[in-house]
Chains A and B, each alone.
Chain A
Amino acid sequence: MSMSGSAVELPITTDATPEERLTSRQLKKQLRLQDAKTKLSSPWASGIAIILAILWTIPTFGLFVTSFRPPADIQTSGWWTFFANPGITFENYTNAWSNSAGGLGNFFINSFVIVFPAVIIPISLALLAAYCFAWVDFPGRNVLFVAVFALQIVPIQVTLIPLQTIFVNFGLQNSFWPVWISHTIFGLPLAIFLLHNFMKEVPASIVEAARVDGAGHVKIFFVVLMPLLVPAIAAFGIFQFLWVWNDLLVATVFAPSPNLRPITAAVAELSGTKGSQWELLSAGAFISIVVPLAVFIGLQRYFVRGLLAGGVKG
C-alpha cells in the first residue's frame, strides 16, 4: 500500500505483508500452516459458529422487527409471530420522531451539534501535541509524555463534580460548551497516545529531508505528516465519534435540559418513563443507533485498525 502525499511518497507498513511476492508453493505451505493453528474439526466448528452468530443477532433483530409492527400487535403477541401474521407500519418511527410523547427529532439534532466540535477539537489539539512529542526536542519531553499517557487512567467520574463547579463559575452551565469542553478533555490522553504512535512510524529521514529543504514546523506538520496520518486520524475520529454519540454519563451530567440533551440520553430517559411502550422505545432505539451504525459500517476498516493499535477508551 503506498500513500501518495503531495510532497513525499513512502510505503506505510501497518498491515501490509509481502505476501503478493510469494510463489504458489510457498503460499500453499503457508495456508496449510495457518490451518494447523486453528483447525479443530470443521463441520462441527462451522455449525457451532453459525448457531453462535444467530444467537448474537437475535436480540437486535427482534427489536428491529418490533419497531415496524403496529402497537396493538406488539402488546399482544411476540415478534416471532410476525412472520406468520405480518403487519407493517412506519408510524412508530414517525411518532417517535415528532410525537409529543417521543419527539426524538430535536434530540437527534442536539446529538449532531454536540458531536462535531467534540470530535474535531480533540483531534486537532492531539495532532499538535503528538507532533511536538514526536518531532520537537525539548527538555522534559519524556516526563511530560508519560504524564499525559498516565492521565488515561483517571476515570471521568473522578472529574465530574469539580468540572461542574468550574463551568458554573464561568457561567457556562446549561449550554453546549461544558459538553464540548469535557468531551475534548476526556478524549485527549488517548488521542495523543494513539496519534503519537502513528507519527513515530513515519521515517525520521523524511522529516529530516524536509527540514534540510528549509521547511519549518508548521510546513512539516501540514505538508509532510498530515497526508500520511489520514488513516490514523480516521481511526481515532471514528472512535471519538462513536464514543460521543453513544455517551450517556457526560450528557446526563452536563446537558440535563431537554434543549441540550442528545439522542442517546433521550432514549435512556424514554426507557425510564415509558418503559412499556415498546412501539416508541423500539423505534427510538433504532433512531439513536442508525447514525453510529452507518459510520461504523462505512468506515469499519479504519475502526478495526485503530482497535488493533490499542485504542480503547473505557
Chain B
Amino acid sequence: MDWFLKPESIFDKFLVMIVAILLFVAIMSLILWIIDRPNVPNWLVVVGFLGPVTIALAVGLFYPALSTAYRSFQVSQAAVGPDGKPVINPQTGQRSSELVFSLANYTKVFTDPGFQKVLINTVWWVILVPVVATGFGLIYAVLVDRTRGEKLAKALVFLPMAISMVGASIIWKFMYEYRQAGAPQIGLLNQVLIWIGLEPYQFIITEPWNTFFLITVMIWINAGFAMTVLSAAIKSVPDDIVEAAQIDGATGFKLFRKVTVPTIRPAVVVVLTTIAMGSLKAFDIVRTMTGGNFGTSVVANEFYTQSFRQGEAGVGVGAALAVILFIIIVPVIVYNVRQMRLSEEMR
C-alpha cells in the first residue's frame, strides 16, 4: 500500500490520483443509486445530496474554526503536579506541559512592538490595495471603453490575475533588483533611478517604504479584476438615465461624475471589499519576497510563521492572529453582501 500514501514514482502518483477520483465517483454513484430507487423517502434524498457536503464543511471548516478560537485563549506552560513539583513525563524524561486559559496570546499581539508593526502593515495593505487598484481599474475601464483596441488593452491589464502571487513576486523582485552604485544595474527600477541621476535604492530592504513596494505588487495583480467588473458595470448603466442627464445639459466629466459613478457605486463597493479581503489574507507575496523580514510581515504571514515555524510556543499566538484575521473580515463581508443585495435589486 506504499503507493497509496507515499507514492514515489510518476506512475504511482498518477495511479493514486486516478484511484482517488474513481473512489470518489464510486461513492457518489452508490449514493445516487440509493436515491434513485423507487419510493425513497424525501429525507433520504436530502441526506444523499447534502450529507457529504455537510460533513465536509462541519469537520473541515466549522469545527477547526471553533477549535482555533478556543486554542487562541490557551498558553502552554510546564505542568505542576499536586505536590507542587513539575511533572516529568516518564517516557521522555522531559517536563510535560499543559494548556491553561490565558489572554496572553492577544496581549502579546497587541502590545509587542514587533507584532504592532505587523498589524500596522496589515492596515496599510487592507486600505491601499483596494483603493488604488479600484481607482486605477475605474480610470482604465473608462479610458479604454469602446476604443479600437479595447480587448487587447483589457487583456494586458487582466493578465496578472492568471499569474500566481508567487510568480508575480518573482517578476517584481526582478524589477526591484539592486546592484551597488557603479555596477551595471539589472533591475529596471534602479536603472531608471540612475538614468534620472539618482543613487540606486534597496527597494525590498529599506524600511519603512519596502512595505509599500510589496503592496505595489498586490495592486498590480488586482487592478485587472477591478477593471473587468467596473467595465461591465459601466456598460450596463441604463441609457435613459444618461439621456435625461444630457437633456439637463450634463456632458463629459460632469456626466461621468454625477451620473455614471453614482450608478455603478454598488459595483465599486463590491470590488473594494472583495480586494480588501484578498489583501488581508495575502500571504504569498510577503512570504516569497521577504519571508516577513525587514519589517514587512503582515498578519497572514505572521500567522504562518508563528503556527508552523515556532513550535508549540507559537501555536497559541498563531491561533490568536487567525482569529484577529477572522474578526476583521466579518464586517467587510457583511457590508459586501448587503451591497450585493442592493445592486441585485437595482438590476
Contacts and interface: CB of A to CB of B under 8 A. Distances in A.
Nearest to A242: B162
B84 interface: no
Contacts of B59: 166
B174 A282 contact: yes
B166 interface: yes
Interface string B314-329: 0100110111011001
Interface stretch (B87-95, B102-110, B207-215, B303-311): B303-311
Contact of B307 (A35, A160, A174): A160
Contact of A268 (B56, B69, B284): B284
Given A159-B68, A185-B61, A288-B166, A314 B277 contact: yes
Contact of A132 (B46, B61, B315): B46
Q: Is the interface of B mostly helix, strand, loop or mixed?
A: helix
Contacts of A10: none
Contacts of A77: 184, 186
A143 interface: no
A155 to B, nearest CB: 5
Contacts of A33: 239, 242-243, 246
Given A171-B5, A217-B35, A268-B287, 13 more contacts: A45-B147, A49-B153, A78-B185, A116-B17, A133-B50, A144-B54, A157-B281, A158-B68, A161-B318, A175-B5, A188-B57, A248-B165, A288-B164
Interface string A122-147: 00111011011100111000001000
B79 interface: no
Most buried by A among B61, B71, B242, B274: B61
A234 interface: no
Contacts of A92: none
Contact of B300 (A157, A267, A272, A289): A157
Interface string A294-314: 011100100010011010101
A181 B24 CA distance: 11
Interface of A: 29-30, 33-41, 45-46, 48-50, 52-53, 56-60, 62-63, 66, 74-80, 106, 109-110, 113, 116-117, 120-121, 124-126, 128-129, 131-133, 136-138, 144, 148, 151-163, 166, 171-172, 174-177, 180-182, 184-186, 188-189, 192, 216-219, 242, 245-249, 252-253, 259, 264-265, 267-268, 271-272, 275, 278, 281-282, 284-285, 288-289, 292-293, 295-297, 300, 304, 307-308, 310, 312, 314
B20 A158 contact: no
Interface string B281-294: 10110011101000
Interface string B22-66: 001000100010011000001101101110111011011111110
Contact of B50 (A109, A129, A296, A310): A129
Interface residues of B, number: 124
Interface string B126-159: 0000000000100010111111000001011101
Counting chain B CB atoms within 10 Å of each CB, which of A59, A80, A126, A219 scores highest? A59
B184 A78 contact: yes
Given A59-B172, A314-B278, A278 B57 contact: no
Given A74-B186, A117-B24, A37 B50 contact: no
A275 B191 CA distance: 19
Given A128-B53, A152-B333, A293-B163, A158 B65 contact: yes
A216 B246 CA distance: 56
B174 A218 contact: no
Contacts of A148: 53, 57
Contacts of A308: 228-229, 232
Contacts of B232: 308
Contacts of B169: 268, 271
